[in-house]
Structure formats: C-alpha cells, structure tokens
Structure 1
Amino acid sequence: MPEMVTDNLAVADLPLLSPWVTPAVLIVVAAVHVMALWRRSNRWLRYWSIGAALLAAAGVAGVFAVFHDGGINAPIPFWISVGVVGIAVVTAVAGVPRGRWWQRMSAAGAIPVAVVAMSLVSNQWLGYFPTTGKAWATISGQPMTRQVELTDLAKLRGTMPSDGRILRLPNNLGPSGFRHRTEYVYLPPAWFAGKERLTAVVMVGGVLTTPTDWIRAGNAVEAADSYAHTHRGVAPILIFVDPTGSFGNDTECVDSPRGRVESHIVTDVVPWVARNLGQPAGLRFMMAGWSMGGTCAVTLALRSPEVFSGFVAISPDRRPAVGDKTTTVRTLFGGDERRWAEHDPLSVMRSNPQRLRGISAYYAAAGDQMRTMSGMRTWSSSEIDTARDLASAGRTAGFTVATFFVRGGHTWPFAARAFESALPFLTRPDPR
C-alpha cells in the first residue's frame, strides 16, 4: 500500500475517487441503520419512517434551493447522501433514548457515518481530494513538498534544480487590508537560473477553496514540474492566492463588503512578486482560475490589461454573480449598476475594445452531451456555451483566443486536465 509521509507521520494514501467509494460508503450507512432499526416495534418503525421521509425530503429541498440559486447541478448520488443525513438524524433522535445497547449505539453512530458518507460522495462529485493522503495534508495543514522560505532563495540562485520550489508568501503584502490565509508561489527550475523571461500566473480556485487547492487538488505544481522537465526548466511561476479569506466566502474577486480581493491581487500580490521575485528579463503576468476563479481570471484581466497580458478561464461564469442580477448588484456592488457593468466582461469588451486588443485568452470547459455544430460533433454543456460566447466576444475585441472543450464535469480533475493543457499557452511569447 502506498504511503504519504508528511511531518514524520505516515498516512495510508488510499484513492478517494475510485468508483467503489460511493457504493461502499452507502453500504456502511445501510448496515448501521439496519442495526439501529432491527427488532424495533411496528409502532416505532411507523413513526420513524414518517419522520425520516419528511426530514430527508426537507433536507434535499433545502439544499436544492440553495444550489438552484447558485446554478449548481449536483449528481443523483449526492442527493441520496443528503437524504441519508436527514434519515440519520431521525434515527439518532428516536433510537438513542431507548432500545437495546447495540440498537442505541448504532443509532448514535448514524449521524457521523451519514455525514462522512455525504462528504465522500461530494468529493466523488467535485474531485476535491484525490487521495486520503492529500486530504490529510490539507486538513492538518502539512507543509508541502520542496517548500522553502524567502531567506532560502539567495543560496539557490544561479542553480538549475531538477524540480521547482514552493515559497510561502508574507502575510502582509500591501495596502488593500484584505484578511487572507497563507498564500504561496511556485518557482520553476528556470527561475533559479535567472536567464529566461517567465510568465507569472495568479491562480484562483472556486468559492469553496483554500490557497493550496490548486496544488493539492489541481495538481498544478506536478503539471508545471513535468512541463519544465521537457522545456529546459521553463514553466510558469504560479501564484496561489486566497480569493475568499475563508472557506465559502463568495467574493467573485471584486472589491465588496465581502473583501477587497481585486485590490489584494492587483495592488498587493502582483507588485510584491514583481519586486521580490522579478527576473532581469522581466516578468509577464497572467490570470488563471477554475469555476469562480475562471470568472475572476476573465474579469481581472479585462479590468487591468496593463497588468495582465492574458488569462486562462476554466469553467467560468458569464460574469461575476452571487445569485441573480439584483442580488449581485446589491451584495457585491452596493446597489451600483455602473460598477456591475464595469465588472461584466461582455460589457467591458463592447465598451473599450481598443484598450483590450491583443489580450491572450484561453477558455476551457467540459460537457457530457454531444451535439452537431458546423457539421462537426462536439461536447456540449451550459459551461461550454458560456465559454464559447465569451471567446466569440473576445475575438471580436481583438483577443488571441484558444479553446479546450472536452468531455467531463465541473470537477477538480477536469480543472487539472485543463490547466495542464494550457501550459504551452501560458509559456509562449507575449503577442502584444
């Protein structure tokens, strides 16, 4: 069995995305409930079944309402797991106070087992943790492989290591005042040699994110190292920023009551990297992100074309959104529709194409349905339609556009695949 060794603690590195995970955990949940319900009276079981059905339906309806507002489409196993949590609550409430010891113990274990099952099923859907080792490393905050401090860089300059290094950034980078978690930078082997003009890419995850997600769930460092091995050590510098400040804070990377994220990225992070990690040949900055991060990549690059020469947008939305337009304008922009329009990519591309001419844009999205377009069979989804619309508007505005549309879902494994496909795009010379 492979092991992941972190901070002198060996953790069995079991796969969490294998197809057996969902049926296995649901079987365990079923077994616990069978033990809790076995030999109960018919009257008890009748009341339990009514309560379980009602709470399961209420749980599914509540989560569905939240997801529907956010435009999130979850697979059937996820909804089953949500319903199972509701059933488990009824089992625990009704079963713990009375019954034989093994019935009460099983009833007490129903909720934690159901919550673990829902977490594993959700992870199967999103691909957040590919293995138990990476899950443990993220949850426990283990340091990453080849992590160095700023003071270590001087002695590594002038060398060409076989792999890149990960640098932890200082907590106070600039004037924005945004309260963020620890951020990181990946430095490719060529950075240490100091001879190449490199691209520095600001990497942004989704709403439910930490700064290390692109490293641990998106395999960005592994992909960059692999690319560097076949390109004389050259790969992008990757800047893993915190776009939310906390897990689940949907900022859309704009300056709002939820945080001054745009200012943090543009006026804190980018100047610090340019000042402290710049090369004699200079740095070229680009944006890249998945899900909310894909939207951030488009929005920030179009709002600051003097800072970012292009972007990679993986599964982006059409514009920053935290619900419908009314909710978004009120929540993110203080009711100011002018500010909303200034952050709407389609409006920005129409209003000032000359300022944006020559931007490099890479759109990636996944779908699971086939349709015919211009006589060719291609994958289709609402995310691909959004990316096509943004790409078309970009071409009209004079962008250099590339696309990557394949079979897949709104998951971290697809984000990792799309980012790896974009590495040649990120390292080519700036066309502007």
Structure 2
Amino acid sequence: MPTWLSAMPIEQQAVLVPVYLVAAALLVVLLVPRIGTAWRLRTRIGVMALASGIGALVGWLAVWWTVDVQDLFGAPASDVIRGAATAAGAGLGLAVVNLFGTRWWRKVIAVLAVPALIAGAGLMINRDVAYYPRFGDVFGITGVKNLALSQGSVAGRSLSSWLPPAGMPKQGTLGTADIPGTVSGWHARPAWIYLPPAAQVKHPPKLPVVVAFSGEPGGPSDVFLAGNMQQRLDALAAKHRGVAPIVVVPDQLGASTKNPMCVNSKLGNVATYVTVDVRDWILQHLPASTDRRAWTVAGFSEGATCAVQFVSADPAIFGSAIAVSPEVGPLNGSVAHTIAVGFGGSRKRYLASMPVAVMHRTKRYPATAIAYSVGQNDRRYGKDAGTLAAASRAVGMHVSYRVLPNLAHNWNTGAAGLDYGLQVLASWWRLP
C-alpha cells in the first residue's frame, strides 16, 4: 500500500465528505426509475421500495444481533451506528434490484454503488467510535516497528536532579516488542511501547512506568492509535524537560475477541503475566523506576477493569491507576459463564475477586492515587465508575473523578479519559 494512502486520515471531513457525496450521487441515479408505461413504472417503484425496505431491515437486524444479542463489543450501539447500518442496507437493497431487468449502464452504477455504500457506512461508524485514525490502520499497516532494546538498560539519576543533555530528541519514540510469558506461560501478541525523550539518551533518569491495556475487542495498538497517546505523552514531556512515563501496553487478551479478564484461570495466567513477566521485562530492558509510586496501571473499558483489579489487588506493585469507563468487576459474557471459565465454577472465588471486595479486605491504601472517568452518555458502565470511585475513596486512595461531557462508550471517551488521567498523575509522579 502506498505511504500516502496508508497515512490518509479517515476521520477527517476532507476524506469523509467526498465518500458520502459519491455514495449519495450513485443512489440518486439508482432511485430514478426507468421510463415506461404507468403500470411498469408503478411496479418498478414498488419493487425498489420493497428491496430498500428489506435491505434496511437486514442492516438494522445485523446491528441488533451482533451488538444487542451477541454483545460482541461490550457496549450498546449508538444511533449513528444503527442509522449507518440501516441506511447502507437500504442502499444495498436498491443496488441489488437494479442489477436485474435494467440497461447495462444502470448495472454498472449498481455495482459501483456497493463498495461506495459499504465504505460510507464503515467510515461513518468508524468516525463515531473513533477506532481507526488512518486508512492503513484498518489493514494493520501502522508503520510502527520493533524497538531495538538491549538487556539490562540501567536508569541513572533520580528525576529531582535530572537535567536534559544536549542533543536529546524533541519527541518520544513508539515501537513494539515481544514480552514472553516466561513464568505465566501466557502467549501474547507484541506489546506497544512508548519511550519519552529522556529515555532515549545515553544516561536516562529513573522514569515512571504506565502499564496500559486496550478494551475488548482490541489489541495493544488501540491505546496509541485510537487513544492518541503518543501525542499526549509528547506534550507532557515537552512541559517536563523531556520526561514523561514509559508506557508499555502488553496484550492481556491473547486475541482481539478473547477476554481472560486479567485473572489466572483456565483461559490463561494473565495476572501472573502482568505482575511478574511484564514487570520483570520492563525492569530488565527499560530505564524504569523501582518505586511503586512511579508504577501506574491504566486502561479503557475492559482494560480499565483490569487496571482497577491490579491496583486494588497488587498495591505493592502499582501505586496509581487510570481507569476510563471500567466495569465493577471481571466479566466474560454472563455472570454464570464468567464464574465457569474464570473461577473454576466457584461463585465465592468470583465474588472475592471483585475490586470492591478486595479493597474491603485490604482496608487501607495510604499512598495510592487513581483517576476515574466515564462518558456522560455511557448507559451501561456509567454507574460502575462512580461505585468504584466511592469504594476507592473509602479505603484511603487519592481519588479523582470526571464525567466526560457528551461522550458515550467508545474511543473518543478512551482518549479523553487517558489524557485526563495523565494530567492528574503528572504531579503524583513528581515530574521535573
């Protein structure tokens, strides 16, 4: 794929409007019935109306089945998504009926309308959920390469005495790396890693670390592509002498649509992978601080649920968290299914794993900070963030909480919430 095409920003009006106009123009041509006798004209109009109606129903049912019934995305569909699918279905129905009993040029237009309609609906839905910022991202062509890392990278001075050397890069760098499940046995996709400018010099300081997670379905790239984290981290570094957290996004899912819930179970030992394998790898390869206050766990949606689980269950490792639209506890489908696949069929173990229960057992978290946020229009998880924030505050955590106006449960919310968390915790990390 040419570089210019893979870099095309498909969420911008300059790209969206031409696609919408082409699709609309093709539909207008297909809507004009072939001239003939009054009876044939009425019949043709009736057939086109029926085909469009059936197509619209199929589009609406597709969203209902995948989102409402199967719950494949863990969030309700917005009116934009339902409208785009319904409109595309109606247009496709109209295109199909124009393939039969029409002249050759109308058949050509019908064929051209199919990809235009699919592209238009797809771009509209993508704009609504803010998932793929560029065309290449749709096909996994991100331009992000493996990081060249050496074993035993040692951090030097503390942040309090850090002065940026001459020639330090102006921006951070982004890359991938394989983090093996040496102890856990977990098979993960490559992690995505951000190194701030201060991490790229010969003698870096001891830097804070953010271990972040995507939502489900998803993957490590989501935090940077949909969450726009690199730009936000570079802006933070520019204010603090090139210092920002190292961000490591490991694969807690194993595949896009899996959800082992960040626990140790027959689905995989994800908790051990994060707290042992990932942590050890970071300390061996990156200029990371060993102070628990400098270690943060973060995420959006399912990833945010993981973040709350880890910060509540492993306070000796993580001193802070960023949780954007979390659930009140681990969940994979129904509660019954969750207990069966994640907790060996034990409801007692499941209830004991809930972050509120863990906090109640631990009782005090005197040096732990957590930034919660949730979309104002998040109908499913809106209450969960408030419940967790109240429980966190009750056990002594330093809690920040924000309702993000006019946002629901998508990566618009994820990006805004992660940015909010970075701003809240900048002082907690004692950045210079």
CA distance in 1, matches of 2:154, 2:336: 54
What amino acid is aligned across from residue 386 of structure 2 in structure 1? R
List per-residue Cα deviations over 1:83-138 (Å, max 9, x = no partner).
Answer: 133334434543335421122222223432222122111112111234xxx33256
- Once the two structures are TM-superposed, the CA of residue 385 in structure 1 deviates from its matched residue by 3.1
Query: In the alignment, is the contact (CA less than 8 A) between 1:235 and 1:423 conserved in 2?
Result: no
- 2:313 partner letter: R
Aligned length: 409
Q: Is the 2:216–2:258 contact (alpha carbons within 8 Å) kept by the matching residues of 1? A: yes
TM-score calculated relative to the size of structure 1: 0.81
Q: Residue by residue, what CA displacement relative to the aligned partner does 1:274-321 show, whole Å, maximum 9, x if unpaired? A: 222244765732211112211121122223222222210011122222
- Are 1:344 and 2:354 counterparts? yes
Alignment-derived partner of residue 377 in structure 1: none
Indicate how the Cα distance of structure 1 residues 336 and 164 shifts in structure 2: closer, same or farther if over 3 A, else same: same
1:388-403 matches, within 5 Å, as: 388-403=386-401
Q: Percent identity?
A: 25
Match of 1:313 among 311, 317, 323: 323
Q: Return 5+ residue gaps in structure 1 as ranges.
A: 1-6, 369-379
Residues 184, 140 of structure 1: alpha-carbon distance in 2 compared, 3 angstrom cutoff: closer
CA root-mean-square deviation:
3.4
**Structure 2 counterparts to residues 44-193 of structure 1, below 5 A:** 44-68=44-68, 70=71, 72-130=75-133, 134-137=134-137, 139-144=139-144, 148-151=147-150, 160-170=168-178, 172-192=180-200
* 1:273 alignment partner, one of 278, 282, 294: 282
What amino acid maps onto 2:80 in structure 1? P
Distance 1:118 1:248 in 2: 22
The reply to whether residue 225 of structure 1 matches residue 234 of structure 2 is yes
Where 1:74 maps in the other structure, the secondary structure is coil
Distance change (3 Å), C-alpha of 1:430 and 1:35: closer
**CA 1:22–1:168: 2 relative to 1, 3 Å:** closer
Report the counterpart of residue 416 of structure 2 in structure 1.
417
Deviation at residue 178 of structure 1 after TM alignment = 2.9
> Unpaired segments of 5 or more residues in structure 2?
35-39, 157-163
In the alignment, the residues of structure 1 paired with residue 276 and residue 412 of structure 2 have an alpha-carbon distance, to the nearest angstrom, of 31
Q: CA deviation at 1:12?
A: 8.2
* Distance verdict in 2 for CA 1:152–1:32, change over 3 Å: farther
Whether contact under 8 Å (2:351, 2:357) holds in the other structure is yes
Q: Please state whether the residue corresponding to 1:102 is helix, strand or coil.
A: helix
For residue 28 of structure 1, what is the aligned residue in structure 2? 22
Q: Render the CA deviation track for 1:208-238: whole Å, top value 9, x for unaligned.
A: 3232222222121221121111112221110
Hey, what does 1:239 align to over in structure 2?
A: 248
Greater alpha carbon shift after TM alignment, 152-161 vs 315-324:
152-161
Residue identity in the other structure for 1:190: A
Q: Look up the match of 2:33.
A: 39
CA–CA distance in 1 between the matches of 2:397 and 2:273? 26
Counterpart mapping for 1:193-342 below 5 A: 194=203, 196-256=205-265, 258-279=267-288, 284-342=294-352
Moved more, 30-39 or 261-270: 30-39
**Which structure features the higher share of strand residues?**
1
Which has the higher mean CA deviation after the structures are superposed, 176-185 or 230-239?
176-185
**Equivalent residues of 1:36, 1:104 under 8 A apart:** no
Shift of the 260–95 alpha-carbon distance from structure 1 to 2, 3 Å rule, reads: farther
**CA distance in structure 1 between the aligned counterparts of 2:287 and 2:155, rounded to whole angstroms:** 15
The whole-number CA distance in structure 1 between the counterparts of 2:333 and 2:316 is 30
Q: Residue 426 of structure 1 corresponds to which residue in structure 2?
A: 425
Amino acid at match of 1:169: A
